Amino acid sequence: YSYIWRLPELVSDALIAPGNRGADILWLRRQLSAIAGHEMGADIDLVDYDQPLGQLVMLFLDSNHLDADGYVGEQTLQHIMSQSPLADGPRLGRVD
């Protein structure tokens, strides 16, 4: 099969890493919160890749059997997009 994929609209770089700041981080925080079943208020403006976000990233990476290095690259973004209820697009899943 072929999987054609592109960066989410609000993400400007295919690598989100500790120390980053900006709209990418807010997008990531919202997606991971939605996947975990938590809602973030519309007024939340947490644009720094801080320790709490790092912990969310590590949990997500570990639970998806990805390298738990704290970095959000293309493969991780694909997993996020397929699991987030906020994201549009195709969903990846296992067939049992």
* 8-29 residue pLDDT tens: 777 887 899 999 998 899 999 9
Whether 87 shows a pLDDT value over 90: the answer reads: no
Cβ atoms of 27 and 9 within 8 Å: the answer is no
Give 38's strand partners.
Answer: none
Q: What is the mean pLDDT of residues 34-57?
A: 81
Question: Cα-atom radius of gyration of the chain, to the nearest Å?
Answer: 13
91 or 28, which is more confident: 28
Q: For the whole model, what pTM was predicted?
A: 0.80
Whether 91 shows a pLDDT value over 80: the answer reads: no
Which residue type does 91 have?
Answer: R
pLDDT-derived band of residue 2, with 50, 70 and 90 as boundaries?
confident
Whether 93 shows a pLDDT value over 80: the answer reads: no
Rounded Cα–Cα distance for residues 80 and 23 (Å): 16
Pull the structure tokens for residue 76. 């991780």
